Structure 1
Amino acid sequence: MLVALLLLLSLSNEVRVNGLCEHNPAPKPRPHTVSILEFGAVGDGKTLNTIAFQNAIFYLKSFADKGGAQLYVPPGTWLTKSFNLTSHLTLFLEKGAVILGSQDPFHWEVVDPLPSYGRGVEVPGGRYQSLINGYMLDDVVITGNSGIIDGMGLAWWELFSSHSLNYSRPHIIELVASDHVVVSNLTFLNAPSYSIHPVYCSNVHIYNVSISAPPESPYTIGIVPDSSDHVCIEDCVIETGYDAIALKSGWDEYGIAYGRPTENVHIRRVHLQASSGSTVAFGSDMSGGISNILVENVYLYNSRSGIEFRTMRGRGGYIKEIVISEVEMENIYTAMAATGYCGSHPDDKFDPDALPLLDHIIFQDMIGTNITVAGSFAGLQESPFTNICLSNINLSINAVSSIPWECSNIFGFSNSVLPKPCPDLETLSDCLSLLSVKGKTSDM
């Protein structure tokens, strides 16, 4: 036990995400601006404007070495198929501007699966390209004055629910292998699958966005940092069918081979609701690793699960050095959860001996009302979850609850926790003294 305490103490010098969001200056104005109207676009909600978007962005590439350029989308309803962005570009949606994604699957190009997944997540093979895309970009901004991007996901949800998909569903925004990305001041509606998916990206700032999908929409997720680093998500409101924010890093042997973790992520001042999933989820696709994450000052409500860690045999990878702090929950079935029995495998090539590691997880300064299960922790016998620390937690359990805590193959500590945690977490320790998040973490 002493060794475990020393490990936690040493962690106080390792977690350095605090202050990450403070290092995100506002994007500079672009010296050149053109309107989508100049390229023949028609904002009637019926005319397909893909060629106008493509031509405008191709033209704006010429300004990349001149400070970049802005594509202005005025009020109107702009129907389009998928289109690709370019570096040093700002896509700006004015108030009253709505970009609509076409509901016709034949309008969506099929692209190769991500290498860290090996196949489409939902259907083996390729995947539909997302509505707004970028690959190996630098300095790209997607913003506006409360403009709207509507993924028109109903047709995709019906295909998914009826098992009629030919390829995995698209997302609203997917940026791949890009650096210095900003998404802000917009509303995202009805994503076919994910709303915002930065994958293999660095220096991503997502702020002041609203994301919404109906409670019954299948496996819709708000923001998915995936094998990405130095990510700040702040001041957002997200209400989705499945997860609000999900951190990922690849799937089984493909994620292990690709080997790019999600790390150095700061999430703060967000309001999250996840109808059938978790407000903040880690995994279950986490084979590249997830570490050095700070989630603070968040309000979670009307959801199946609050904070959840998911993994399974064959995943490999790790989830470690996670701090969850200053959390208010209301109407949550399970406040905190971690399971080693969640997910599926891409194929039969996974290594069943690739065991995941879940270690150094801190929950502190949390309150909750109308909670059914305070905590459900189920580690693997071959790889128990270790160094789970709970501090200053007060959850009001509702009358429906029969067992407020469920624990197996987990080892950790607690201090000032109500209801009283399971015996595996009863060893007295003050997480805040062991891991002084505010006092000892520093700028990265």
Structure 2
Amino acid sequence: MMNTYNLISEQKKQKLIIVLAFTLVFSSMSATMFNVALPSITHELSLTPSQAAWIITSYMIIYAIGSVAYGRLADQYKLKNLLTAGLIFFAAGSLVGFFSTNFAFIISARVLQAVGASVFPASAMLIPSRYFPPEIRGKALGITSTGLSLGVAVGPIIAGIITTSLHWHYLFAVSIIPVVAIPFFRAYLDNTKGRSAKMDYLGAALLAGMVTFVLLGISMQHIYYFIISILLLGLFVWRINTAKEPFIKAELFKNKRYSVILLLFACSSGIGFGLPYLTPLLLADVNHLSPFTSSLFMFPGAAITALLAKKGGELADKKGNAVLAYIALSFYFICFISLSVIVGHSPYFIMLAIIFGYIAQSFCQMSLANTVSQVLLPTQTGVGMGLFMLTNFVGSSIATTLMGTSLNHHNGVSGYTNIYIILSIIVVAMGMIYTDVIRKTVSSTQHVSK
């Protein structure tokens, strides 16, 4: 089994992880900026609400599918070539968007952007797993988390400034910048590629179709989308159990620790998305603040998280992933139980509470990602990390729909309070599941040592 930790020098590793964090800033910005600009685009192009929603939905669907596809391709092809292709697609989509004059061009631009940007979530997990040994991997994941958190922090603010002072077209111009990272990736990454194997296009198509119809069902809330997704799921399960070289090997899902971590990450992504989704609604509906003012109250949480992300990774390296995970779960609980009490009070109290939530989301992702990287075989790392990131999109999409539906029936202070109480209960359940996983892991380790 090849040791991939020595494929590149220590100096190149440090430069590589910084370049990756740089591109992740723009990746997360691109996913959030257009939420702020959506009203301006809708008004200027006279779009219907359903048309406007596709500007976000089209990006989300391609982004989710692409994260798994790039992860699978990373097991076969040179990572530097995949990142080069991704950055070119991302820049091309941004150029199309900058010169777009109608709805069709905007959708085409967002799809191209997503095809390119979806290389980043897989790479953010894969590069630390492939090139950094377990004793320093947490620090590397902390640096990539810093890039993601910084993008989340500044994205809405930059979008508000650009949309107000210039024009929403310039949001696409900002997204062209990451293309400058191509020569650095090609200089710092090695030329190693995975084993040669035939691509299972049917399996890939079935997985893509299943994910697409799940996300469509969530966003459109039509039952027949879910029925189609269940049928495609059945065909996908059949395919991975019968194909000689399936897109995803069935053995991956037989790894119980991996499957439980996927469940925990889906839950973490869902409740974590309650912060950027619920907080602007809460501040607008209850505190009567404008979207831009709301983003200013949310900025400290994301900014502090970006500053602490590296420290969180170092803590995982020194004390173990479990310590970081329990800190994350504790912070989640403090955040949501506090919000359930202070809804309707000063927005400054809300700003303080969500700081704990943002830190919790970052620490939880780092801890679970580090754990996943240790339970996967080297040949499974690419697709395993891709599936790991896929749960992020599915979990957050389901959570958004459920939270929105709940607010439609119970709006106002009581509606938000009830949601935050439920999220607190989910955190407690996650803690119980995680504790059980840790207990069984320790027991298994002791048994093997005997």
TM-score by length of 2: 0.25
TM-score by length of 1: 0.26
Structure with greater proportional helix content: 2
